[in-house]
Amino acid sequence: MKFVLRIAPLFVLLGSWPAWAVEVTPGVDVTAYAGVRITLYEQMEEVSGLVQQPQGDKSEGSATGFAIDQARIRLAGSFLKDKLGLVLELRLEKGPALLDAYGEWRFGKWLAVRLGQFRIPSGWENLVGDRDLDFSSRPQIQQALADYALSRTTYASSLFYGNRSWRRDVGLGLCGDIDIKIGTLRYLAMVSNGLGANLFIGGATEREYLVSNKAQFFYGLRVDLLDLFGVARVGAHVSYNRHDNVVFNSGRTVLDLNRLTWSVDAGFEIPKTGLRAHGMVGQGFINDDYDANSKRDYKFFGGEVRLIWRLDPLIRLLAGTWDDSQHLELGVRYDRYDTVADESAFTIRSHVVTTGIQWIYDRYLRVHLDYVVRRTQDPTQKDLDDDAVLLSTIIGW
């Protein structure tokens, strides 16, 4: 990790930061993009019943507003006849921070050794860049498969509460593509801290987020069969994260991590129609025993199915011509997310149906307009109905 971070300033020297240059110098590419979300309307039943005191005014039951979803700068370089790759990506929204910071040595397409901070093996969409999503946001199961595989926890009193991983961790990985005649076998294996982006394990020599940890790590593997017979893909992942009796940076708090996640997925497309479909299921377990009751802290299960129709072939057929630099897509997605805490008899279940239209102009502009219908069933309270209309625009270079 130190090696990658010390190499990173080389990107700045090579790039000299010209105005959004696509290629700064031979072998080094600079890309940048920003995404703005406009919440046109969103129901907020979870705040219903709140009253301002002493006026007695009731809270608003809906939300409308603006947000910066993403603001990223990425530098990627290939050197020594593409044998050495270096990547640095910065997240600027919600405070500057590192996302990707790694180097890799490529023995060929079939094997690369990667060292630094990068995306962990996880659910299929967690390895898709934010600017390449079919909808304006990922399903809830995808976020859970990344965060709860690492250090995030559900207990507000835990020092790990709210730890967002950004789908990344610091460690060592092996990755590559292998031609298997009927398609391509792609794999990513990783051994890492198991904490999440920018959360390190140190000791007396270099005090970090955790200052005590025996030889226990996060282990993850993702395997995909791509372009099967030219029309399909299948994939799966599994991860295990174990840390017993680690000490937090305060030097006074002892914690455990014990996590397991898995997922499987498949997709296909119908050639010359613009139609493609995808589905996945995944599950995870948090067995930290945070409250020492010998029960599983958290179990989650979820999945999704989606159908996307790229209208370009139809428009070209009807109009006789179409600009290949732009694309228009319609999509619908159903996703479900179930959770059980402390092995209770209660399952909290969320159903979400998202329909949307997406317009893409080359690599520079992507506009989503999504209508989200969300139903949350919780035996301990009334069902929540939080529908939303979201407009998201991503501009990039």
pLDDT at 115: 98
Determine what percent of the chain is predicted with pLDDT higher than 70. Answer: 93
Task: Report which residue type is found at 199.
Answer: L
Residue 57, classified by CB atoms within 10 Å of its CB into exposed (0-12), middle (13-18) or buried (19+), is: exposed
Q: Report residue 94's pLDDT band, with 50, 70 and 90 as the boundaries.
A: confident
Domains of the chain: 2-43+64-396 (2.40.160.10)
pLDDT at 49: 80
The mean of the pLDDT values for the chain is 90
- From residue 298, alpha-carbon distances to 153, 261, 341, 348 in Å are 9, 12, 5, 12
pLDDT at 25: 52
Residues composing the chain: 397
The tokens of 37 are what? 């979300």
Which range among 200-209, 298-307, 331-340, 374-383 shows the weakest confidence by mean pLDDT?
374-383
Q: Report residue 355's pLDDT band, with 50, 70 and 90 as the boundaries.
A: very high
Q: Is the pLDDT of residue 12 over 80?
A: no
Task: Please give the helix or strand (H or E) that residue 62 lies within, else none.
Answer: strand 62-79
Which range among 4-8, 114-118, 315-319, 334-338 shows the weakest confidence by mean pLDDT?
4-8
For residue 165, give the nearest of 223, 114, 97 by alpha carbon: 97
Summarised one tens digit per residue, pLDDT across range 220-230 is 999 999 999 99
For residue 370, give the nearest of 34, 35, 39, 36 by alpha carbon: 39
Three-state secondary structure string covering 211-272: EECCCCCEEEEEEEEEEECCCEEEEEEEEEEEEEEEEECCCCCEEEEEEEEEEEEEEEEECC
Q: Is the pLDDT of residue 3 over 50?
A: no
Cα 61 from chain centre: 30
pLDDT at 1: 32
Summarised one tens digit per residue, pLDDT across range 109-163 is 999 999 999 999 999 999 999 889 999 999 999 999 999 999 999 999 999 998 9
Summarised one tens digit per residue, pLDDT across range 169-208 is 999 999 999 999 999 999 999 999 999 999 999 998 888 9
pLDDT at 385: 83
Q: In angstroms, what is the C-alpha Rg of the chain? A: 22
**From CA 75, how far away is CA 294, in angstroms rounded?**
47
The tokens of 320 are what? 């006789």
Which of 22-26, 215-219, 316-320 has maximum average pLDDT? Answer: 215-219
pLDDT at 180: 94
Over residues 247-269, mean pLDDT:
95
Q: Is 194 in contact with 170 (CB distance < 8 Å)?
A: no
Q: Is the pLDDT of residue 246 over 80?
A: yes
